[in-house]
Amino acid sequence: MSMLIMSMIIFMVTTIMMILASILSKKTFSDREKNSPFECGFDPKSSARLPFSLQFFLIAVIFLIFDVEITLLIPLILTIKITNIMNYMIIMIFFLIILLMGLYHEWNQGALNWAY
């Protein structure tokens, strides 16, 4: 019961602090000068937004996908002691086959080739 009371007190204090911060904060008005990039007090000579390489974005997304799948493999390693070895091997092989099929698909589509 004391944990519930402490949780409610902490929740109320944080809520009150957030409300006070939003009330007391300075209001900012955005205008053209504030939204433009600052370059030594002069107007910029070129656009501040440079084009982004789509190939780099695709490689980054592929890395994130495979990185998340690797983090899903780590708990499988830790559960080898408490599971049946046959079930463990079936799950691990199935998961690795899915990973390798995804890698083969990306390689076959040419997403891993870096084109200049």
Whether residue 45 has pLDDT greater than 80: no
Choose between 111 and 68: higher pLDDT: 68
Can you give the pTM of this predicted structure? 0.46
User: Do 91 and 77 meet the contact criterion of CB atoms below 8 Å apart?
Assistant: no
Round the average pLDDT of the chain to a whole number and report it.
Answer: 79
Which CATH architecture best describes the domain 2-109?
Up-down Bundle (1.20)
User: Do 94 and 88 meet the contact criterion of CB atoms below 8 Å apart?
Assistant: no
Q: What pLDDT is recorded for position 13? A: 95
Q: Give pLDDT tens digits for 66-78.
A: 788 878 878 878 8
